[in-house]
Amino acid sequence: MFPEPRIDAARGYEIDPHYGEPSRRLWRDRRAEIVIGDFTRAVPPEREADRFNLLICNPPYVRHHHLQPDDKKHLQARAVHSFQAKISGLAGLYVYFVGIARAWLQEGGLAGWLILSEFMDVNYGSALRHYLTSQITLLEIRRFDPLDVQFDDALVSSVIVWFRKQKPRTDR
């Protein structure tokens, strides 16, 4: 949607080469780098100027009991700084993605997420709810009708969450 001169850099992560390689071919003539690898283990830019001003994510749907104990410890360690709250061991992978991604986004940058809506209704979503209401400026949440399933392979209800990486105003 943006003219090429307005894009300094773009990067995408895909852990599965089956999907990553076609993405590389699709974007090869653009200023886009497609990394075949695990986003949760990638090192974010250290300098604020090297971080991204727009983040669009659709993290994989992986329930907590499909995460290996060592992986879960690694994910919790990377995400806890962003949430400034304890992350339940019952949280799915998408919760960790939101926390880990904070380090990739410039201050004031925009983030758009397609994630499960369950965090809004369950105890193990408390860290993510805390983050969305106290650590960033929540712009919008669009919840899909739970009867209108968005994915053929999972019976889940989804939301689109938009936020800006800045502390919320006290009057919000």
Query: What's residue 54's pLDDT?
Result: 95
Residues of the chain with CATH 3.40.50.150: 52-164
Does this model's pTM top 0.75?
A: yes
Spatial distance between the Cα atoms of 144 and 150, rounded to a whole number of angstroms: 8
- List the structure tokens of 170: 């006290």
Residues of the chain scoring pLDDT < 70:
148-155
Residue 131 near residue 99, CB atoms below 8 Å: yes
**May I ask the CATH class of domain 52-164?**
alpha beta
Query: What's residue 93's pLDDT?
Result: 94
**One-character DSSP codes across 13-80:** EES-HHHHHHHHHHHTTSSEEEEES-GGGSPPPSSGGGSEEEEEE------GGGS-HHHHHHHHHHHH
Query: What's residue 152's pLDDT?
Result: 65
Query: What's residue 155's pLDDT?
Result: 62
